[in-house]
Chains A and B, each alone.
Chain A
Amino acid sequence: MNRFAYVEARLSSNETFVSRDSRVKIFDGDQKTDFEEGEVVLTTHRLFWGRPGEIARAAVTLCLPLSYVISLGEETTASNFFGRKTRIILHLRPPGPDKMPGPLDTSRATHIKLSGKNGLSMEFHSALRETLNARIWEISLTSETIIKGVDRSPTSDPVNDRLARIQKRTGIGGIERHLEAKAKATDENIALAFQDLSVLMTMAKDMVGLSKTISGRIREQKGEISDDETVRFKSYLMSLGIDDPVTRDNFTSNSAYFSSLAQQICQMLIDPIEEHGGMMSLADVYCRVNRARGLELLSPEDLLHACEQLRGPIRLRSFPSGARVLQLESHDDDLIAIDTLEKVQAAESLAVEELAKQLGISLLLAKERLLVTERLGKVCRDESIEGLRFYPNLLLQRD
């Protein structure tokens, strides 16, 4: 709380408004303060808190430079009366020496919390997170420090430097500083760990690009490496992920997104579906597509919408039982029935799980195959205590 300073609520140059939220309460550490029911405004550089209307009048309000923030956390509280709400925790650096006077001169807490009547809005929360990640204030700050550093370096004294270092280590103050430094390092590590995910996301694009250039180079050098090897290496690269996953960000309209997604799914799955005998259940499709996309994961809904858009060699098909599969258009019921009948005839009679094993397909698909064949009158069923089996339809064909 002692990191806050009293400042006029005006934007400085190259500072812009980001987000706001109202009826916000500040906690100093875990303790309540009098700063309740206020309005917070987030800018690219600072966080303001003022009584309702104060910020709009550009009056003097509480202000926290974002450069103090080490990391962002959240806690969820639940109470019988108020339900669940989420508080934001801001872990802060110790106040700098040039800090302007604020509402509190000393505080033992190294973090503050922001809380609202019903928690803070999601928009504000995510805006805060993004602003902290962007670190826009650093851009101007570093340019300032560079100038300052140039100014200072000739005057800096090696003896003074060493003295300062000794001071830092000795006494209770030293221990406290050490602990503080440790806590800070942990916080930063945590922040970094979460940043890694986003780094990974951006890295994925580079990786895909890399695989593309390598495969391109291989193509050029066809003479030196045998075709067989080229193909194998390429397949390794492809298994890393598809070249250019279609993502929602690239499209303004849903329909365009879904139709190009459908196109991609079609390209991707046409070979596997053929291998699997012309049909693939949506669950399998979902796993395969997301496996191939790597990090740009698709939601089941998006996938379903995209599949509904499929107009080509593959189509989405709903069976009377409600099961949905992707099916090759060339692969119609008559073909399935003939094929399945052959299997049944060869085995004299087949249960669903036996057919699934023989064809290497899921039980669901095996059952649908048998039911399709039954609907065409080519097999008939035998339900007994041993379960459901299918026989060639001798009842119709024998006479």
Chain B
Amino acid sequence: MTEFQWPWEYTFPPFFTLQPHEETRQQQLKVWTDLFLKYLKHTNKFSLSINEQSLPLFHNESIQRRLSPELILVILEQLQRSGHATALDKRRQEWQVYWYTLEAYGNMVYDWIQETGQTNSICTLYEIASGESTTQMDFHGVDESVLLNALRLLEEKGRCELIEIDGSHGVKFF
């Protein structure tokens, strides 16, 4: 795995303080949300806990600055607004964060199914997320719980049906 490329802002101390100036804050949050997604994609993580103090994303040791839990929450809420994150608990401490929005994931999977002619057949989630046939796809390696949420969205649109077998899920596309 290659070394993660931190943006220059990561070594700029004010980057770790929420800026009161409106325009600056928008820019700051934009960089942060990008950084969150890039970092999670790089490390192939789909969940974040606000209490993960040692995570390099929250803490730049070289300049001794860390994100306050409040600021992390602000960033995650910003991600939620753009459809890239969901809170997993009521206290909003545990978050699911994903590179593509759930809708994008759903569409990608559906397109792939149609291209490979698998409509009306049943696949397991493991096949979609980690199967050998999807290694070239953008959604390869997606967290199964994220995939499940994406498929539920598809189900609402009537494009597939989720089936539960022995505690694991299968899906049938139409």
Contact = CB atoms under 8 A, between A and B. Distances in A.
Contact of B13 (A374, A377, A382, A399): A382
A399 B15 CA distance: 15
B8 A398 contact: yes
A394 B12 contact: yes
A93 interface: no
A389 interface: yes
Interface stretch (B20-28, B50-58, B74-82, B94-102): B20-28
Given A381-B17, A382-B13, A396 B64 contact: no
A4 interface: no
B60 to A, nearest CB: 11
B109 to A, nearest CB: 35
B172 interface: no
B23 A396 contact: yes
A383 B12 contact: no
Chain A residues touching B, majority SS:
mixed
A384 interface: yes
Contact of A382 (B9, B16, B31): B16
Contact of B14 (A375, A377, A382, A399): A382
Contact of A389 (B13, B19, B23): B13
Assign chain A's interface to a size class.
10 to 19
A272 B27 CA distance: 41
Contacts of A391: 12-14
A380 B23 contact: no
B24 A377 contact: yes
Nearest to A393: B24
A393 B17 CA distance: 12
A395 interface: yes
B61 to A, nearest CB: 13
Contacts of B20: 374, 381
| Residue among B14, B24, B64 facing the most chain A CB atoms (10 A cut-off) | B14
Nearest to B23: A377
A389 B13 CA distance: 9
Interface in B1-43: 8-9, 12-17, 19-21, 23-24, 27-28, 31
Interface in A339-387: 349, 374-375, 377, 380-384
B140 interface: no
Contact of A377 (B8, B16, B21): B21
Contact of A384 (B9, B21, B31, B64): B64
B65 A384 contact: yes
Contacts of A349: 13
A101 B54 CA distance: 101
Given A391-B12, A395-B9, A383 B17 contact: yes
Nearest to B22: A377
A381 B64 CA distance: 15
Contacts of A389: 13
A396 B65 contact: no
Given A374-B20, A380-B24, A381-B19, A395 B13 contact: no
Contact of B21 (A375, A383, A399): A375
A396 B24 contact: yes
A375 to B, nearest CB: 7
Nearest to B9: A395
Contacts of B21: 374-375, 377, 380, 393
A13 B31 CA distance: 95
Contacts of A382: 13-14, 16-17, 65
Contacts of A399: 27
A395 B65 contact: no
A388 to B, nearest CB: 9
Contacts of A381: 14, 17, 19-20
| Residue among A349, A380, A384, A393 facing the most chain B CB atoms (10 A cut-off) | A380
A395 B64 contact: no
14 contacts: A377-B23, A377-B24, A380-B14, A380-B21, A381-B17, A382-B14, A382-B16, A382-B17, A382-B65, A393-B24, A395-B12, A395-B27, A395-B31, A396-B24
Interface of A: 349, 374-375, 377, 380-384, 389, 391, 393-396, 398-399
Interface of B: 8-9, 12-17, 19-21, 23-24, 27-28, 31, 64-65
Give the 7 A-B CB pairs with smallest separation, nearest first. A382-B13, A380-B14, A382-B14, A383-B17, A391-B14, A377-B21, A380-B19
